Structure 1
């Protein structure tokens, strides 16, 4: 059990470092350069992923609440609320990333060509809408979580060492489950639809390039690389989402959260925000060029110091 806990710490540490690096990179791009709309989406996604690690691991919230001497019940409500908000934002931003890239790679003859400029202009309003909806939607959950006391007496379901869920009315729980599942299934469906559309576009493009004997141009296309990266991110998210959904649904239906199941779910939950920045770092030419320049400058500095000493 302790070895699995160490794996979680390593996974979380790697995820936080990778996302912090990406967040700094995108902030630098947004402030000092002309950012792409995908840069704005990735910037928010990396921030959301950092918050998922800090809240899920009780690294940030615990320290804040302990220093302020705030009781456990408020801490549980705050962490549970924020974790649900960040989970909802993660799926919404990933869906938005998939939709925007599908619109971007669509040919000029398609019906989506009119949406390209419109989507860029209203991007800020889309962000505000996504954040507002998730902040308001997740507020109903705080009434059904409290500081853990004793499961045998109150029929609570312990979800962490210090937090538990209260039993709900069947109608309310069914309504919340239906709304949440419908939203998630809709967003996942949009991701799969846009991903399929992008695969078709890439396949047609490849076939045309083969016909024109310019396959080297296809390989060098930054747009194609960006599309492949987003496809990989979306597919990975969909797989992780359904694994997490099955674990969560089974636990709620059985009204039991085993510590082992909780750790497995946390491992699954951390997988997406850990892998995504690593994929992005390895596929973004701007990051690769920046790292190469930093590496070459370090070598030059080392040789200068060496020769000056001699």
Structure 2
């Protein structure tokens, strides 16, 4: 096997393995929190949903991509490609939408009440989470409906023009117009939610700066607010992480829109950088969210205790 293929395969294998492990860990931690506390804060529910969408993204793109690189071709037929590509497009879209939703909800949570409208919005945040989830799912299911229409299993020979060669599947747009229209629709949605998360994060940073001045003199009185501010910092870190990989992804995507035949290495690079957020974001959640970390440490301690009690007595 060629050295470049081995390096590419190992890179995707590590990325997929870490992504699945990290997101499953976050989901299990939140399941334990929901079971023990019977309630999740709005931000926690969004983070759990984000971990689910990231996990779905890794399973529908990272796993088949890795299998294809290691020589397992003809994995999917036409219906299989349509289903997998559709699920991938929705999960990728949800990742950006939920990050934007997360930053907006966090900004509203820590914003000082300065009017009846904002006060009412704050009191209804927990009630708006599920309807917003449903709205985002419906929005992205409608926007991504064209993806299964253009998705097919790979055919023998060279992929035709205006085709995204994913290896395990092809997305053939047939004409330059449909290729550009689909790219424009997806990019418009993505940039709109990036604008929301950047605006919300900018507002959070302003509040964090003001808070840092206040807390020097009234640290004890601001204890509750400090917890919210720590959560806000972790949201900003998630936004920064997404923005970095989003920028790299879109530089490659803009290049892909300018050529009729996309080189395979370019498509692989875009897949890799697109999936980086789904891989690294759960570990950022674990390191910055006290609840998740405590549940994981608790679970590890309980497992170690069970192993020690089950160990046979050799005396």
Q: CA deviation at 1:178?
A: 2.8
SS in 2 for 1:221: helix
Cα-to-partner distance string for 1:13-62 (whole Å, 9 max, x where unaligned): 011011101111112223442211112111111111111111102449x9
Identify the range of structure 1 (108-117 vs 244-253) with the bigger mean alpha-carbon deviation: 108-117
TM-score, normalised on structure 2? 0.84
SS in 2 for 1:18: helix
How many residues in Structure 1 have an aligned counterpart in Structure 2?
302
Is the 1:30–1:40 Cα contact (8 Å) retained in structure 2?
Answer: no
* Selected match of 2:186 from 180, 183, 192: 180
RMSD over equivalenced CA pairs, Å: 3.0
Unaligned runs of 5+ in 2: 68-73
Is the 1:148–1:158 Cα contact (8 Å) retained in structure 2?
Answer: no
Q: CA deviation at 1:158?
A: 4.9
Is the 1:206–1:215 Cα contact (8 Å) retained in structure 2?
Answer: no
Q: 1:287 to 1:179 in 2, by over 3 A?
A: closer
Q: 1:98 to 1:153 in 2, by over 3 A?
A: closer
* Selected match of 1:258 from 256, 263, 267: 263
Instruction: Provide the rounded CA distance (Å) in 2 between the counterparts of 1:304 and 1:297.
Output: 11
TM-score, normalised on structure 1? 0.85
Instruction: Provide the rounded CA distance (Å) in 2 between the counterparts of 1:220 and 1:296.
Output: 31
Is the 2:161–2:261 Cα contact (8 Å) retained in structure 1?
Answer: no
Number of the residue aligned with 1:199: 205
Q: Aligned pair 1:115/2:121, yes or no?
A: yes
Instruction: Provide the rounded CA distance (Å) in 1 between the counterparts of 2:78 and 2:149.
Output: 11
Is the 1:92–1:130 Cα contact (8 Å) retained in structure 2?
Answer: yes
SS in 2 for 1:148: coil
Instruction: Provide the rounded CA distance (Å) in 1 between the counterparts of 2:264 and 2:150.
Output: 20
Bigger share in helix = 1
Is the 2:164–2:170 Cα contact (8 Å) retained in structure 1?
Answer: yes
Number of the residue aligned with 2:249: 244
Is the 1:156–1:164 Cα contact (8 Å) retained in structure 2?
Answer: no
Instruction: Provide the rounded CA distance (Å) in 2 between the counterparts of 1:153 and 1:295.
Output: 49
Cα-to-partner distance string for 1:62-118 (whole Å, 9 max, x where unaligned): 9xxxxxx99622222222211111111111111111110000010123663331122
Q: CA deviation at 1:185?
A: 1.3
Number of the residue aligned with 1:87: 92
* Selected match of 2:142 from 136, 144, 155: 136
Q: CA deviation at 1:230?
A: 0.6
Q: CA deviation at 1:150?
A: 4.6
Identify the range of structure 1 (269-278 vs 23-32) with the bigger mean alpha-carbon deviation: 23-32
Runs of 4+ in 1 over 6 A off after TM superposition: 298-306
